[in-house]
Chain A
Amino acid sequence: MASPLSIRNLSVAYQKKVVLENISFSVPKGKLIGIIGPNGAGKSTLIKAILDLVPSISGDVSIFGGSYEKNRKSVGYVPQRESVDWDFPTDALDVVTMGRYGKLGWLKRPSQKDKEIARQCLEKVGMSEYSNRQISQLSGGQQQRVFLARALAQEAELYFMDEPFVGVDAATEKAIIALLNSLKNQGKTVLVVHHDLNTVKEYFDWVMLLNVSLVDVGPTEDIFTTEALQKTYGGKLTMLDGESSPIIIN
């Protein structure tokens, strides 16, 4: 069975600056993978380069053994919340239904079945009662859940999520993590750009350490060590001895 995601020699530059250098890795199926690194490490850029949203200077991306073009129906994407104008005249259910547009292709309108799938996805994220709420009236956590529901509506096998926990309350964070785990248990692969080092061990079974180049990638117990972290963050980390594991201050 082909790996859900296989990258070879991916490099991305922005004007004169190299933001991703020679990234190569392969991830196994059914894992919850955290992408970790300091600001400017290229974490969001990595996802965008894989999804062909930013141009790369070099590299091959293979998704389930084929190109992204070929297998994009198997990929789900939850972008950062700022990427969208939340004043757009639409409600939560409508946004989730947009996740079905990929399956519909050109011209076809969403059917009752699509709307039903959208409703179920809203329920999975606990937002059923907000179906008809105008999106500008939703809180940050609620908006994030709507985005998540939209990705679920895509019915993908490989998910990319860009900082889904930013600006989100504790209850929403727990709900999201529970959802991601259920995806994992269904055999889906999820890559998450994450910023809070203190929750990495608890949330992710694999981790990717990134700082322009790939520091390391693999199971969390093996990879997520103090030395590796210092290497990734260039010595800019402060670690306090916590009760069970070190508390990291970034």
Chain B
Amino acid sequence: MSSFWIILIGSLVACSCSIVGCFLVLRKMSMVGDAISHAVLPGIVIAFLLSGSKEPIFMIAGAIIFGLLTVYLISMFSNSGVQADAAIGVVFTALFAIGVVLVSLYTRQVHIDLDHVLYGEIAYAQWDLISVAGIDFIPRSVWLVGAVFLVNILLITTFYKQFKLCAFDPIMAAALGIPVVFFHYLLMTLVSVTTVISFDSVGAILVVGMLIVPAATAYLLTEQLSKMIVISCLIGICCSAGGYYLAFLLDASIAGCMVTIAGLLFTITLFFSPSHGVISKMIRRKQLSRKMASNDATL
């Protein structure tokens, strides 16, 4: 029974991450996703210190504020002449450093230890049962992650056209009257919320793995955005199940194993994808060379 909950939580986390991760990959904002996942740490700590409680609502609020602050600071520095990638690096490292310092200073009050932050505690999540609408055998994490998953699906499907156009051609989107900036910050808000909820299970460092790797793998398998999102979720579920069993086998971190499986699947796809794999492209190039040579012969 316990493995079921763990794999379920992992799958819900992976799917939530994949849904927003696909847009990050397509908009070349993978590292912004990385930045947000690090920068929400001080948000969580400050929220905890101010509210005195570990209720998720405060953590989520803190995460959203710091997530949006991160994006805002990155744009601000970018616009005042710092290169975009350097702006990302400066902002997230500074915010994460603040977070780590706060955790170190206030460990007793905050009840967050750095290990939990890094690796997550997915194995323990199943014991934290709460009662919702009379159902009392479902762990709290499942409710939280499930809720975030549903919110992500809901928002992305409702505004699918807008998100798609803003990712593909923001200038045209603006010309059509779509509020590009609003959707940009909406996406970043979803990333922040997804990140903070995923902290509990996979930890801060590995969230970016779940955001990017399944999405990038799906990117190599299909030409359609809708399929890309679905495929990345399926890959995420495989990572969750595979990661759990690998962790059991190796007696190691579940989160780490999830990302390792994701890496494995990505590598296989990189080489063997029928449409974009390296091997397939080599075969096609040889066919083209042969065709050109035979064209010469007939001239």
Contacts and interface: CB of A to CB of B under 8 A. Distances in A.
Contact of B292 (A15, A16, A18): A18
A84 to B, nearest CB: 15
Interface in B145-183: none
B284 interface: yes
Interface of A is mostly: strand
Interface in A211-242: none
- In this complex, the interface size class of chain B, counting residues with CB under 8 Å from chain A, is under 10
Contact of B296 (A13, A16, A18, A22): A22
B166 to A, nearest CB: 25
B289 interface: yes
- In this complex, the interface size class of chain A, counting residues with CB under 8 Å from chain B, is under 10
Contacts of B292: 11, 18, 57-58
A58 to B, nearest CB: 7
Task: Count chain A CB atoms within 10 A of each CB in B281, B285, B288, B289 and give the residue with the most.
Answer: B288
A213 to B, nearest CB: 12
A57 B290 CA distance: 11
B281 A15 contact: yes
Interface string B274-286: 0000000100110
Interface string B285-299: 100110010001000
A80 B180 CA distance: 32
Interface string A6-22: 00010101011010001
Contacts of B285: 13
A177 to B, nearest CB: 36
Interface in A47-79: 57-58
A18 B285 CA distance: 11
A57 B281 contact: no
A13 B291 CA distance: 12
Nearest to B288: A13
Interface in A20-46: 22
Contacts of B289: 57-58
9 contacts: A11-B292, A13-B285, A15-B281, A16-B288, A18-B292, A22-B296, A57-B288, A57-B292, A58-B289
Interface of B: 281, 284-285, 288-289, 292, 296
Q: 10 tightest A-B contacts by CB?
A: A57-B289, A13-B288, A11-B292, A57-B292, A16-B284, A16-B288, A58-B292, A22-B296, A15-B281, A18-B292
